[in-house]
Amino acid sequence: MSAQPDLLYSEEEEALRSAVRDLLADHCDAPGVIARTESDAPHDLAAWKALGDGMGLAGLLVPEDLGGQGATHREAAVVLEELGRAVAPVPYLTSAVVATEALLACGDEELLGRLASGRTIAALAVGLHLAPGAAFTAVRVEEGALYGELTGVADAVAADVLLVPAEDGGLYAVSVADTDAVTVTPQISFDLTRPLAGVTLAGAPGRRLGDAGPAVHRALRAGAGLLASEQLGLAEWLLTETVRYLKERKQFNRPVGGFQALKHRLAQLWLEVVNLRAAARAAADALATGVDTEVAVAVAQAYAAGVAVHAAEEALQLHAGIGMTWEHPVHLYLKRAKADSIAYGTAGAHREALAELVDLRAP
């Protein structure tokens, strides 16, 4: 606790940010993202290919000798900030962070190499709402074949491989393409840009990777910690875009952004975004160094959801009529922000964890 986390961005991290931002400007413009949400292919696999194949970003957390970049959570967090800014429908958090962390815990070199290249997408088959340490559903396993039903698995429709916890305590890899015994059924999801799916396993062959308990915990902890950076990106876009709009929008013969009542709300929001940046950087740095990780992640997740949702709600209200339309992208951000407030544990769940971690116990 004595050493302070590095809360700044390095020059390399800033360079990475601008490269990702440029790429997303080409791939993920708002009308395109909105149109895609109602198509048969909710994920933007061209953007994913450019991020993974083109820039090698799917393998940031994978060591170089396994085909990855050997970078850290700090860099992955910068990528997630930019993906949040664009509400990009790519399975980065789910495959390149959460599934990758589960595989790192199991030490599965073969799959790690494939995920690092971006050519294989994996999803950890637990509900998106689960906080690190929460109980998760395990499926039945008989002679290497898996049987059961799972719901709420984020980005499963894009996944080539599912990482499935089983009742024998193992985590199994199930290759979706290789068997008819896996059915992935899209669920109508609140967040259109990170869709959920149900998974039915009817005797699907699985390969045991390792112990599910520690792998799932580690994966969800990284997911929760880096989700804060995505939420920062959402909030930052919402604030910037709302400020821009209110400088232009005129009513009562002056820019609406000049009314003090609105200025104060935007200044408060700015302050929340500034605080979130510090909390999110602290979580990313703690995941990278392993110092104070549990507390830093819980603080970031206990703080981030409120900021992202507040930013989205303010953006909608201050855009007013236009913000209520399907055509304007603010609803994509509201839906992502609200879903993110449940993903990897609610703020309340993370506060509960903190009560133990920092010894502020319940009555």
Partner 1 sequence: MTGTAELERRTAELLAAHPPATTDRLDFLKARFDAGLAWVHYPEGLGGLGAPRSLQVVVDTALEAAGAPDNDARRNGIGLGMAAPTILKYGTEEQKRRYLRPLWIGEEVWCQLFSEPGAGSDLAALGTRAVREDGGDWVVNGQKVWTSGAHNSRWAILIARTDPTVPKHAGITYFICDMTDPGVDVRPLRQITGEAEFNEVFLTDVRIPDARRLGGIGDGWRVAQTTLNNERVAIGGMRLPREGGMIGKAATTWRERPELRTHDLHQRLLKLWVESEAARLTAERLRQQLVAGQPGPEGAGMKLAFARLNQEISGLEVELRGEEGLLYDDWTMRRPELVDFTGRDAGYRYLRSKGNSIEGGTTEVLLNIVAERVLGLPSEPRTDKDVAWKDLAR
Q: Give the nearer residue to partner 1 in terms of CB position, either 147 or 270.
A: 270
Closest contact distance (angstroms) between CB of 136 and partner 1 is 25
Closest contact distance (angstroms) between CB of 343 and partner 1 is 18
Q: Give the nearer residue to partner 1 in terms of CB position, either 83 or 353.
A: 353
Q: Side by side, which strands form the sheet with 170-175?
A: 122-124, 161-165, 170-175, 207-211
Q: Give the nearer residue to partner 1 in terms of CB position, either 177 or 267.
A: 267
Residue type (1 letter), 324: M
Closest contact distance (angstroms) between CB of 281 and partner 1 is 7
CA distances from 251 to 47, 204, 243, 256 (A): 39, 61, 15, 6
Q: Give the nearer residue to partner 1 in terms of CB position, either 9 or 48.
A: 9
Q: Give the nearer residue to partner 1 in terms of CB position, either 55 or 354.
A: 354
Q: Give the nearer residue to partner 1 in terms of CB position, either 48 or 303.
A: 303
With a CB cutoff of 8 Å and minimum separation 6, the contacts of 256 are 246, 249, 250, 262, 318
Closest contact distance (angstroms) between CB of 17 and partner 1 is 15
Closest contact distance (angstroms) between CB of 316 and partner 1 is 18
Which residue, among 311, 301, 312, has the nearest Cα to 345 in the 3D structure? 301
Q: How far apart are CA 92 and CA 271, in angstroms?
A: 28
Q: Give the nearer residue to partner 1 in terms of CB position, either 44 or 272.
A: 272
DSSP-assigned states of every residue in 99-166: IHHHHHHHT-HHHHHHHHHTSS-EEE-S-TTPPTT-----BEEETTEEEEEEEEEETGGG-SEEEEEB
Supply φ then ψ for residue 175, to 5 degrees: -85, 115
DSSP-assigned states of every residue in 54-92: IT-GGGTTS-GGGTS----HHHHHHHHHHHHHTT----I
With a CB cutoff of 8 Å and minimum separation 6, the contacts of 10 are 74
With a CB cutoff of 8 Å and minimum separation 6, the contacts of 309 are 334, 337, 338, 341
Closest contact distance (angstroms) between CB of 201 and partner 1 is 39
Closest contact distance (angstroms) between CB of 140 and partner 1 is 38
DSSP H/E element including 170? strand 170-175
Closest contact distance (angstroms) between CB of 127 and partner 1 is 24
- Site residues, partner 1 (CB under 8 A): 1, 4-8, 243, 246-247, 254-255, 257-260, 263-264, 266-268, 270-271, 274-279, 281-282, 299, 302-303, 348, 351-352, 354-355, 358-363
Q: Give the nearer residue to partner 1 in terms of CB position, either 21 or 247.
A: 247
